[in-house]
Copies of this chain bind each other. A is one copy, B any other.
Amino acid sequence: MRKLKVTEMGRLTLGEFRETEKQPIAVVLDHVRSLHNVGSVFRTSDAFCIEEVLLCGITAQPPHPEIHKTALGAEESVSWRYFKETDEAVDYLRKQGYTLLAVEQCEGSTLLQNFCKEEVKRYAVVLGNEVKGVQQHIVDKCDGCIEIPQWGTKHSLNVSVAAGIVLWHLADKH
């Protein structure tokens, strides 16, 4: 099968992206340390037309050359805002009517394959620090906890990979 040329992919311009209808999904990064992970989440959020990325605490903000290197400009298309405390981001999302889902491994968490979204809801997905995960008090403020099952030796997936898998699961594949 012939690979498509870039001009055949039908991607949006920056202007078109801003105008296009977004998926009713937000992403919260709770103290994500790696600029590579932040950039990669922006790139995935562009691909899946995510509403907004909320950068919290030590999570770096654009413009930043290291974020740009991985986001490849997606930090300019995707809406984002910064909160010093993740609690503030959670409160902001609550006011906007989002249902909050921590991506974590918790007692009684819902395995991703068993999570069925409700079409009328807007979801905010909270991803945590590379070592510590989502802060316990932030998990406690969420409406639920989604877990990507892992059957190997390691304790977690890379943050940007986990974000990609969960966003793909939640996205409306129109």
Contacts and interface: CB of A to CB of B under 8 A. Distances in A.
A161 to B, nearest CB: 4
Max count, chain B CB within 10 A of own CB: residue among A70, A153, A161 = A153
Q: How many residues of A sit at the interface, in one of the four size bands? A: 35 or more
A3 B133 contact: yes
Given A40-B158, A168-B168, A173-B113, A48 B4 contact: no
Interface string A18-48: 0010000000000000001000100111111
A11 B154 contact: yes
A154 B46 contact: yes
A153 to B, nearest CB: 5
B158 A158 contact: no
A168 B151 CA distance: 12
A30 B6 CA distance: 20
12 contacts: A1-B104, A1-B106, A3-B106, A9-B150, A36-B36, A43-B157, A43-B161, A45-B152, A46-B152, A72-B154, A148-B168, A158-B164
9 shortest interchain CB distances as A-B pairs: A46-B152, A161-B164, A1-B106, A47-B150, A113-B173, A2-B107, A77-B153, A49-B151, A165-B168
